[in-house]
């Protein structure tokens, strides 16, 4: 569904995303992992065409992304950037309405279909009672759901999420992860997201791609990517890997057993 061929992008002399060759299948949930500054956001920006590659291609369903019309790109891909402007002076309903923009021919009245999809997006994200509330008045978790509602109102085939759970407490993090699973299972959306919580990524993803210094270092199912060597070479930590209910997870093992921080 989404292929990158020898994708390269240079921000400066000190950072270059190099030769990214990936095939993302339809219906996959893929998490991008890697230290800060490893190029995760740059990669998402490239595949959503917010920036243009220095060389290489992104193919979406066999078509070159850089040849597609903007509306066509937006009908296929929705991107939730890393930090949203929380000062936006709009209601939840108005925000979600923006998501219909790529499907509309002008600024006229919303069609019945637009309205139904907006209501669907608000329903899926459980925001019905907040529809007329100002975005700024919502809690972090509700606001994140509102941004996701806007993205899915685009009815994208591929949903790109840059750190959708950062700054949320654990229950709201899990709520977002469950929503992502539901969008994938019920509506067949392909999801590519950046996560910092490696255990959550392993638990909710079909595939993990680990970047470091602008290149892909590990790519595979969680069971294969979660290994001591990955933690050592990418994050420079020692880790123990465990399995519970078919899910893989790790704990860092730099502290000796029983040792605790004495502050
Ligand atoms: P990540 O999302 O993995 O933390 P990014 O893709 O945001 O990493 O950034 C990768 C590298 O590119 C970093 O070193 C960052 O400082 C640099 N970078 C990101 N955006 C820009 C930009 N607009 N101009 C120059 N350098 C940038
Ligand atoms: Mg980032």
- Beta-carbon neighbour count of residue 81 at 10 Å? 16
Atom 24 of ligand 1, nearest CA residue: 11
Give pLDDT, residue 221.
97
What contacts 94, CB < 8 A, 6 or more positions away?
A: none
Ligand 1 neighbours by CB, cut-off 6 Å:
11-12, 15, 34, 36-42
Atom 6 of ligand 1, nearest CA residue: 39
Q: Which CATH architecture has domain 2-225?
A: 3-Layer(aba) Sandwich (3.40)
Give the strand order in the sheet containing 158-162: 77-80, 158-162, 190-194, 29-33, 207-212, 215-220
CA dist 108 and 115 (Å) reads: 13
Ligand nearest to the CA of 38: 1
Ligand 1: distance of its center to the CA of 163 in Å? 14
Ligand 1: distance of its center to the CA of 238 in Å? 26
126-166: per-residue pLDDT in tens?
999 999 999 999 988 898 899 999 999 999 999 999 999 98
In ligand 1, which atom is closest to the CA atom of 82?
A: 2
- Determine the residue of 9, 15, 44, 164 to mutate for testing ligand 1's pocket, defined as the one with the most ligand atoms within 8 A of the Cβ atom: 15
In ligand 1, which atom is closest to the CA atom of 194?
A: 2
Mean per-residue pLDDT, 219-240: 95
Q: Is 229 exposed, middle or buried (0-12, 13-18, 19+ CB in 10 A)?
A: exposed
**Percentage helix, strand, coil for the chain under 3-state DSSP, each rounded to 5:** 35, 30, 35
**Does pTM top 0.85 for this prediction?**
yes
Give pLDDT, residue 262.
56
- Determine the residue of 10, 32, 41 to mutate for testing ligand 1's pocket, defined as the one with the most ligand atoms within 8 A of the Cβ atom: 41
Atom 15 of ligand 1, nearest CA residue: 37
Give pLDDT, residue 263.
45
Give pLDDT, residue 82.
83
Q: Which regions of 13-131 does DSSP assign to beta strands (E)?
A: 15-24, 29-33, 55-60, 63-64, 77-80
Ligand 2: distance of its center to the CA of 183 in Å? 23
User: Under a CB-based contact definition with an 8 Å cutoff, are residues 5 and 21 in contact?
Assistant: yes
192-210: per-residue pLDDT in tens?
999 999 999 999 999 999 9
User: Under a CB-based contact definition with an 8 Å cutoff, are residues 161 and 201 in contact?
Assistant: no
Mean per-residue pLDDT, 25-52: 95
Which segment, 62-76, 98-112, 188-202, is predicted with the most confidence on average? 188-202
Annotated domain spans of the chain: 2-225
Ligand nearest to the CA of 42: 1
Mean per-residue pLDDT, 57-86: 88
């Amino acid at each position: 569904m989404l292929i990158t061929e020898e994708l390269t992008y240079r921000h400066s002399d000190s950072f270059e995303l190099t030769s990214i060759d990936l095939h993302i299948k339809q219906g996959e949930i893929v998490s991008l992992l890697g230290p800060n500054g490893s190029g995760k956001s740059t990669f998402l920006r490239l595949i959503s065409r917010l920036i243009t590659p220095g060389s290489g291609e992104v193919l979406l369903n066999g078509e070159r992304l850089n040849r597609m019309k903007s509306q066509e790109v937006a009908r296929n891909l929705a991107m939730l950037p890393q930090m949203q402007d929380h000062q936006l002076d709009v209601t939840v309903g108005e925000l979600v309405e923006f998501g219909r923009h790529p499907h509309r021919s002008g600024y006229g009245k919303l069609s019945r279909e637009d309205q139904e999809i907006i209501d669907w997006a608000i329903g899926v994200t459980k925001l019905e009672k907040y529809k007329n509330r100002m975005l700024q008045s919502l809690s972090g978790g509700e606001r994140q759901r509102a941004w996701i509602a806007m993205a899915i109102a685009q009815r994208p085939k591929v949903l790109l999420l840059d750190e959708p759970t950062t700054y949320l407490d654990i229950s709201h993090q899990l709520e977002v992860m469950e929503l992502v699973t539901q969008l994938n299972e019920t509506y067949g959306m392909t999801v590519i997201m950046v996560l910092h919580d490696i255990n959550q990524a392993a638990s909710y993803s079909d595939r993990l791609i680990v970047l470091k210094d602008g290149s892909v270092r590990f790519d595979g199912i969680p069971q294969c990517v979660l290994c001591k060597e990955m933690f050592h070479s990418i994050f420079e930590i020692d880790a123990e890997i465990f399995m519970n209910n078919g899910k893989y997870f790790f704990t860092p093992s730099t502290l000796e057993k029983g040792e605790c921080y004495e502050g």
